[in-house]
Amino acid sequence: MTDNDFADGLPEIFETYWRDRAVNGRLGIDDADDIWDFLNQLRIDAPSILSDRTEPIFFRGQSRIDHAFSSSLYRLTKDNLQSGRQVTERHLHLAEVAMMDAARSQGLGRRMSAQQLLCLMQHHLMPTRLIDVSRDPFEALFFALNKDHDTDAVLFMIQPLPVHESWHDSDAGPGSGKDASAASVLPWAGLARGKTQADGSWTNNVILIDIPTLDPRMQAQSGVFLTGGLFRSYRVYYDDKRPGPGYNKGLRHGLSTDLSNLAIMWTKNFNFSQNSGFGATGWVITIPSSLKRELLNRLRKEEGIYSDSMYPPVTEVSRLVKTEAGRLIKREDQEFG
C-alpha cells in the first residue's frame, strides 16, 4: 500500500473503526425512538449510563461517519505537509503561534487572554487546536443531522479525566489598566520538545476549555471545547485483528492520530478503570441516514433546535428589532398623540 493509497483509504478506515466501536447493539438502539430515549437518559445523568466515574461527559455530533475526530489545526497542518509526513507537536506549535500572531497583528484579541483569543478564533472558523463539544446531547445531535442526509452520522460521548489546575485560563488578557493581552501565552506554550515529542503531562491530557462568553452561538449550542496534546508521541496501537481494507495495518502504522489527535480511548465498555494511559474515554453511537430527517424534525418540534436557533442570525435580528420598535412607537404616536 503506497502513501497515496493509504491516504485515499482513510475515510473507509474511519467508517470501519467507528462502526466497530459503536455501542448501538449493546444498548439496544435500533430506531429513532431508541436514540431519542437514550439521549434523554444521557441528559439526566450521562456518567451513570456510560461510566463508573462521575466526571461530566461531553458530546459531539458529526454528520459523516467517515470523518475523524480531530481538530481543524491538525487537519490544516496535515494538508500542508508532503505526502507521507506525520504531524508533530512542533508543526502544531508553529502553526498555532503563527495564526495567533497574525490575528493580533490585525487588531483581533485586544484585552483577551491567549485562551480567549483562541476561543474567538474557533467561533469564527479559524483553525485551532480546540474541538467543539456540547454539554447537552440534543444540541450535539443537531450537528449529526443538519447535513449530509444521505450519509450515516456519529454521535461522540467523551469523558475527560480530571487535570491539573495549571491548564486553566489566566486573567492575563482583560485586566484593568494598560492592555497586556499580547503578553498572554497559552498554558501549553513551550511544551513541544524537539521535532516530535512533547512534555508527557501535555501529551496524554484531554483538557476542557470553558471560558464564559456572550457569543450567541456558543450559548445556543451549550458549547465548550476540548483540546490536548498530540498523543501519538507515545504511540498507541489498537490491537484489532478484524479483516478490512487496510484497517488493522493502518491502525498499527500510526493511524491513531489521524483518527483522533487527542488521547481518547474509544471503547464499547462502561468501566472507566480499564482506561490506561489516555486522557479521556470515548463512546460512539451511529445514526443511520434514514433517520436523519425524522430526528431533525423532532429536534425542532420538541427541543426548539433548528438552524436559526443554533446559528442565531444576529445581523438580521438587529434590523428586525429596530423595525418592530419603530413600528410600535409610530402606532402609539398615531393612537394617543
Does 332 share its domain with 243?
no
Q: Do 267 and 284 touch, CB atoms closer than 8 A?
A: no
Q: Which cell goes with 255? A: 493511524
Give the mean model confidence (pLDDT) for residues 237-252.
48
The tally of domains found in the chain comes to: 2
φ and ψ at residue 98, rounded to 5 degrees: -60, -45
pLDDT band at 170 (very low <50, low <70, confident <90, very high): low
Secondary structure class of 185 (helix, strand, coil)? coil
Does 201 share its domain with 336?
no
Does 56 share its domain with 165?
yes
pLDDT at 186 over 80: yes
Which range has highest mean pLDDT (40-49, 186-195, 306-315)?
A: 40-49
Does 81 share its domain with 28?
yes
> What DSSP assignment string belongs to 232-299?
GGG----------SSHHHHIIIIIHHHHBSS-EEE-S---GGG--S-SEEEEEEEE-GGGHHHHHHHI
pLDDT band at 221 (very low <50, low <70, confident <90, very high): confident
Closest CA to 228 of 205, 208, 209: 205
Q: pLDDT above 70 covers what percent of the chain?
A: 82
Secondary structure class of 210 (helix, strand, coil)? coil
List, for residues 259-311, the tens digit of each pLDDT value.
Answer: 899 989 888 888 766 676 788 999 999 999 999 999 999 999 999 998 988 88
Question: Which H or E run includes 103?
Answer: helix 89-105
Does 100 share its domain with 230?
yes
The CA-atom distances, in angstroms, between 136 and each of 142, 212, 295 are 11, 17, 16
The alpha carbon of 162 is separated from its chain's Cα centroid by a whole number of angstroms, namely 18
Distance CA 47, CA 86 (A): 35
State the pTM of this model.
Answer: 0.86
The CA-atom distances, in angstroms, between 31 and each of 19, 27, 66, 292 are 16, 12, 21, 11
Domain with 184, as residue range(s), is 3-305
Does 319 share its domain with 208?
no
Q: Do 120 and 97 touch, CB atoms closer than 8 A?
A: no
| Predicted local confidence at residue 120, as pLDDT | 86
Distance CA 139, CA 95 (A): 30
Distance CA 207, CA 162 (A): 8
Does 97 share its domain with 227?
yes
Distance CA 50, CA 158 (A): 10
Does 314 share its domain with 285?
no
The residue type found at 219 is Q
Distance CA 65, CA 150 (A): 11
Q: Do 112 and 174 touch, CB atoms closer than 8 A?
A: yes
| Predicted local confidence at residue 211, as pLDDT | 79
Does 166 share its domain with 134?
yes
Secondary structure class of 162 (helix, strand, coil)? coil
Give the mean model confidence (pLDDT) for residues 74-84.
89
Stronger pLDDT, 201 or 150, i.e. the higher one = 150
The alpha carbon of 88 is separated from its chain's Cα centroid by a whole number of angstroms, namely 20
Q: Do 209 and 195 touch, CB atoms closer than 8 A?
A: no
Does 312 share its domain with 282?
no
Does 162 share its domain with 183?
yes
What is the overall mean pLDDT for the chain?
83
| Predicted local confidence at residue 135, as pLDDT | 94
Does 235 share its domain with 325?
no
Residues 6+ apart with CB under 8 A from 248: 240, 241, 242
